[in-house]
Structure 1
Amino acid sequence: MKAKNKLKKCLASALAFILIVSLLQLPKNAFAADDILDVHADGAIAIEASTGKVLYEKNADTALGVASMSKMMTEYILLESVKKGKVKWDQEYTPSDYVYKISHNTKLSNVPLRKDKKYKIIDLYHAMAIYSANAATIAIAETIAGSETNFVKMMNEEAKKLGLKDYKFVNCTGLNNSDLQGMYPKKFGGPDDENIMSARATAKLAYHLVNDYPEMLKTSSIPKMVFHAGFTPDEDVKMENWNWMLPSLVYGSKDNGVDGLKTGTTDFAGYCFTGTAQRNGMRVITVVLNATNAKGQGGYSARFDETKKMMDYAFSNFSVKEVYPKNYEISKHKTLPVLKGKEKNVKISTKEPLRLVVKNGEDKAFKPVLVLDKKKLDKDGNLLAPVKKNEAVGKLVAEYKGSKDYGYLYGQKSASVYVVTANNVDKANWFVLMMRGVGHFFANIWGGITSTVKGWF
């Protein structure tokens, strides 16, 4: 018996040892159940652009270096300033000493600016959005806010307003402060600090940029452009877009649908890219932070390869569909009772169609649920007359009943659309209300009598 017990213990120890060794030999992402694509990046996310539906994410809430992708915030504030009339596209700018010095640093992405020449904001914008020109970006910041320090304050405030989390802006370019020759905005960071954002925060910024100012895609999709840096053609700069996934560039293809957005590269951030593409009526936004290849090596190809992986997955597996049309009536909830109205009920239906991102084969994976606005109802669930047509009384929520779900960019779990009343219901006059009261009175008496008589038998 003792020999058998000793044998069992030996076998158990051996199995335990084998299990531990096998676990230690598993790849780093073996336990990352969410990383269905095995994206090689420190942080990543893919969303559908019209709804904000998250299609894939990996370590999406850790703040990491974003390098020149920071310029998307500078671009957003510029477009907002132009819309509000604070800045005009043909407005001219004369380089400050700071901008002049940075523009002639050949180690950075730049267009060289002359101190004796005025540059239009539209041209500086093109240099920033297409060529990631750093001095041009600072020039835009100075134009809008008077100084880069004031502008960085605006960047952080705008990020908060847009609902971003896990971020910090210390300059307007995304460079390391050490590259700014001691002229960095000292109020927001130290001499070696850089901007940081999480993949989700970066996607939120891109989401607003694309949806609030879709015209910017006309610029971000330009593969090549000439910048007139001086007064003669020999001073022209031939700018090639750093987004090499554009159809006509080295990592592009004619049918990939890529038309934006922004790359970023520093030693601290690694190789980053926020991309967007549209195919078959659906737009996708992707973000990779510190992308590498399978061997863990960063590079230009790595950020585009990992982006392509996410884009191909999104377009191959998802589509945007109208699941519930406008004026859709929810089964068993087609009307609501109205208290003291000329009519005792009012029809309710969806105000707008509800479009959802649907995974292939999951067309029936949604359940319509009516969520009424309790503030509009009394304790018995009645609306109080008068009721106006198209008055919102709640929402139709599409509850997802399928497999893995990442939710939405801003944290909501389900999509919804307002449910409204189909017509007006005026308040009944005193006579009608009185007659209803009399009717209820005798109905209650009759109900009591019938109950008593039934009790006799």
Structure 2
Amino acid sequence: MKQVFNTSLAVMLAFILSTSAVWMNPGNTYAATVNVEAKSAILVDADSGKILFEKEADLTLPPASMTKMMTEYLVMEAIQKGSISWDTTTQISQYAYDISANANFSGVGLKMNKDYTVEELYKAMAINSDNATTITLAELIAGTEAEFVKMMNEKAKEMGLPDYEFVNSTGLNNSHLGDNYPEGTAPDATNMLSARSSALLAYHLINDYPESLDISSQPTAEFDGQTITNWNWMIPDMPGALSQFGYDGVDGLKTGYTELAGNTFTGTAEQDGQRFIAVVMKTDSRASRFQQTAKLFDYGFQKFQEQTLYEAGYQLEGESEIEVAKGKEDQVSVETNTDLQTLVKNGEDDQYSIEYNLSEDQLDEDGKLVAPIEKGAKVGSASLVYNGEESYDNLLSENQNSVDLVTTGAVEKSSWFMLMIGGVGEFFSDIFTGAVDMVKSWF
């Protein structure tokens, strides 16, 4: 009986362990490596878009003030296009004043009939997450917040955000706006984003407009005679007790909170030339959103390193010679034109291989390159292939781990005489083959 009991216990323990593994690992091994206490989360390489960690990243949730990242992008774009400048001045509307005067929204206290520069308004929005300054910028750029919301959704589509709905510029619920909710949206509507979309929005903001980090990285700033404090407590050198949340290299990006959204955060940090973007949504508290983000950054910086896996000039054994038609040579060699590199998790160096992809539009019907061919001509691409157990998707549609495949030498076109001789040879070869086939058919 004792042996039966021990065997049954062992079987039961094995079952519990196996079911626990399934529960913790629905489709990837992330849960076994990082325990992120958030409803949804994602960690991304800010250079290539490679996704290193995700947890329910496609859940569409209210982003709260993370919405302002899109407003920031459109302000930067307007400055780049020259429609406004940092020195452009504007006054606030009654709508913006009513939002600013509402103590529930903890604004910077805007004044009517006062000129504010775009730079002042942007800093209050990016650093202090001010809602009224955000509305003022939206109205300055588009005339009305309703027209600005159209711009937000159009830009989201252009960026390829997979899950989004923008209904206002701030991230507040429309119900907070009273009768001022943007025309064309519902009075009880709210902005919606997935963690994946938030990460992609942040990717575009910091890559298209890296100067945005010069502002989002400021712990404090002066606005209209008062000191405003950044809601991103992970920035190093935050004042007082907030400094306990500081994380080396953090210089952005945007916090968010409403009762509906909970505590959210899109953060970015750079160390030794490596930058990550992390998003957490629906964490338990303001402090927790930074603690969970720190876990993601630790995972990225401690477990991954940029590595060159195949150097420029690499030739894949057995596939480095491509047949050539109508040339003085029958073949040409190909090689990679630049290094193939990626973020590699510790211990996974041998989990990558390389594959060639020839451009079909450069091949004839027999799959050959056609002379003349110049040295260094691009004939296709070489891509990294991951063969390990984890799943590394990419925020971007195109393969970022791909380089050009180029010829190592030139192949001149064969003379007309040699092409003719070759054609005659093929002609008689076809006749001979046809005759043989015909004779065979007699028997």
> TM-score scaled to structure 1, two decimals?
0.84
Cross-structure match for 2:402: 416
Deviations 1:76-104 (A, max 9, x none): 11112211222211111111121222122
2:389 maps to 1:403: yes
CA shift, 1:194, in A, is: 1.4
2:62 maps to 1:46: no
Cross-structure match for 1:327: 313
Flag the 1:252–1:78 CA change in 2: closer, same or farther, 3 A: farther
Q: Is the 8 A contact 1:111 1:133 kept in 2?
A: yes
Amino acid at match of 1:289: M
CA shift, 1:41, in A, is: 0.9
CA–CA separation in structure 2 for the residues paired with 1:354 and 1:141: 42
CA shift, 1:281, in A, is: 1.9
2:223 maps to 1:227: yes
CA–CA separation in structure 1 for the residues paired with 2:246 and 2:94: 43
Q: Is the 8 A contact 1:366 1:400 kept in 2?
A: yes
1:393 aligned to which of 356, 368, 379:
379
Q: Is the 8 A contact 1:60 1:200 kept in 2?
A: yes
What are the ranges of 5 or more consecutive residues in structure 1 without an aligned counterpart?
A: 1-10, 229-235, 292-297, 448-457
Deviations 1:187-226 (A, max 9, x none): 12x2222111001011111111121111211111111100
CA shift, 1:352, in A, is: 2.8
Cross-structure match for 1:205: 201
2:360 aligned to which of 374, 386, 390:
374
SS in 1 for 2:327: coil
Cross-structure match for 2:232: 243
Identify the range of structure 1 (271-280 vs 93-102) with the bigger mean alpha-carbon deviation: 93-102
Amino acid at match of 1:98: Y
SS in 1 for 2:364: coil
Cross-structure match for 1:340: 326
Residue correspondence of structure 1 range 348-367 to structure 2 within 5 A: 348-367=334-353
Deviations 1:315-343 (A, max 9, x none): 11101112222333222222322211344
What are the ranges of 5 or more consecutive residues in structure 2 without an aligned counterpart?
A: 434-443
CA shift, 1:406, in A, is: 2.9
SS in 2 for 1:313: helix
2:76 aligned to which of 57, 73, 79:
79
Deviations 1:160-202 (A, max 9, x none): 11111121111000011122232010312x2222111001011
CA–CA separation in structure 2 for the residues paired with 1:109 and 1:325: 54
CA–CA separation in structure 2 for the residues paired with 1:218 and 1:310: 23
Amino acid at match of 1:246: I
Among all aligned residue pairs of Structure 1 and Structure 2, give the percentage whose two residues are the same amino acid.
45
Cross-structure match for 1:119: 116
Structure holding more helix per residue:
2
CA–CA separation in structure 1 for the residues paired with 2:97 and 2:363: 64
Residue correspondence of structure 1 range 163-174 to structure 2 within 5 A: 163-174=160-171
RMSD: 3.0
Q: Is the 8 A contact 2:67 2:171 kept in 1?
A: yes
SS in 1 for 2:132: helix
CA shift, 1:46, in A, is: 0.4
CA shift, 1:115, in A, is: 1.9
2:51 maps to 1:59: no
CA–CA separation in structure 2 for the residues paired with 1:253 and 1:330: 48
CA–CA separation in structure 2 for the residues paired with 1:413 and 1:257: 28
How many equivalent pairs are there? 418
Residue correspondence of structure 1 range 137-216 to structure 2 within 5 A: 137-188=134-185, 190-216=186-212
Cross-structure match for 1:452: none
CA shift, 1:149, in A, is: 0.3
Amino acid at match of 1:217: L
Flag the 1:439–1:29 CA change in 2: closer, same or farther, 3 A: closer
Amino acid at match of 1:373: S
Flag the 1:169–1:422 CA change in 2: closer, same or farther, 3 A: same
Q: Is the 8 A contact 2:245 2:290 kept in 1?
A: no
1:304 aligned to which of 290, 311, 314:
290
Flag the 1:166–1:224 CA change in 2: closer, same or farther, 3 A: same
CA–CA separation in structure 1 for the residues paired with 2:406 and 2:20: 54
Residue correspondence of structure 1 range 28-47 to structure 2 within 5 A: 30=24, 32=26, 34-36=30-32, 37-47=34-44
Amino acid at match of 1:326: A
CA shift, 1:146, in A, is: 0.9
SS in 2 for 1:50: coil
2:259 maps to 1:270: no
CA–CA separation in structure 1 for the residues paired with 2:316 and 2:99: 62
Cross-structure match for 1:105: 102
Deviations 1:290-338 (A, max 9, x none): 01xxxxxx21111011101111011111011122223332222223222
CA shift, 1:428, in A, is: 2.8
> TM-score scaled to structure 2, two decimals?
0.86
CA–CA separation in structure 1 for the residues paired with 2:113 and 2:333: 70
Q: Is the 8 A contact 2:247 2:294 kept in 1?
A: no
Flag the 1:39–1:413 CA change in 2: closer, same or farther, 3 A: farther
Flag the 1:117–1:287 CA change in 2: closer, same or farther, 3 A: same
CA–CA separation in structure 2 for the residues paired with 1:38 and 1:325: 36
CA–CA separation in structure 2 for the residues paired with 1:385 and 1:156: 48
Q: Is the 8 A contact 2:328 2:411 kept in 1?
A: yes
